[in-house]
Structure 1
């Protein structure tokens, strides 16, 4: 990986982490019980709200630290596929799933390629 690719992956990793921390903390601050109720209203078990919000916060922190980047990227791919299919797709592209699709592609990049520049992963995973 060239230095430019390493910097690009670092930027994607850190920004995605910040975005997901924001989304997860918003679910907790807005009342996680409210989010669980909304999950119930769209046909998903309410307890999934706790899992999703926790994954967003913990996964976001892990991405910023560069810890388990590929695993977190894969989990975010699954989360975003669910969000697009269950919620956003019906709203159309613009104003619907465009944003989640961009986050999904960034997550898929991190799943496939990782990001070792300024990461804890480089201490645990040999290239």
Structure 2
């Protein structure tokens, strides 16, 4: 274990907790309401359910270190959508009428770091068998 592993672990847990809370908020506020808002800004309403589920379940998965790279890539797309569809007009720091995209960008960069590097310290992923593509397991070969 080194300092980088601990730092990446902390990023993974905080990103997971942040998205868990955002997903929980969407479910508590009613996904139907979020769906209507999505439609009002030009995003198909069903995407509210997709985004809410990825945030909630993905946040939990990140906290436990399950599917870190896959979840991180999905969160990159969510943050890119949030920036482009919602926050970009307000600018980086906001314009007094809406919040800026600085936090969304930071979350996206943390997700990018995790997507590129993974996070094995205290993760379920590190306990799973590590098989490369095309490799036949010993049980299947027998």
- TM-score, normalised by the number of residues in structure 1: 0.95
Larger radius of gyration: 2
Q: Identify the structure with bigger relative contact order (alpha carbons < 8 Å, sequence gap 6+).
A: 1
Q: CA RMSD in A?
A: 1.3
Shift of 1:125: 5.7
Aligned to 1:53: 52
Matched with 1:14 is 13
State the shift of 1:91 in Å: 1.0
1-structure distance, mates of 2:31, 2:130: 39
> TM-score, length-normalised on structure 2?
0.85
Alignment-derived partner of residue 39 in structure 2: 40
Higher share of residues assigned helix: 1
- Report how many residues are paired: 126
Runs of 4+ in 1 over 6 A off after TM superposition: none
Gaps of 5+ in 1: none
Gaps of 5+ in 2: 94-98, 132-142
Separation in 2 of the partners of 1:57 and 1:105?
19
1:30 corresponds in structure 2 to 29
Question: 1:96 aligns to what SS in structure 2?
Answer: coil
Whole-angstrom CA distance in 1 between matches of 2:54 and 2:130:
26
Deviates more, 1:117-126 or 1:74-83: 117-126
Cα distance in 2 for partners of 1:119, 1:61 equals 12
Hey, what does 1:86 align to over in structure 2?
A: 85
- Aligned equivalents of 1:116, 1:126: Cα separation in 2: 12
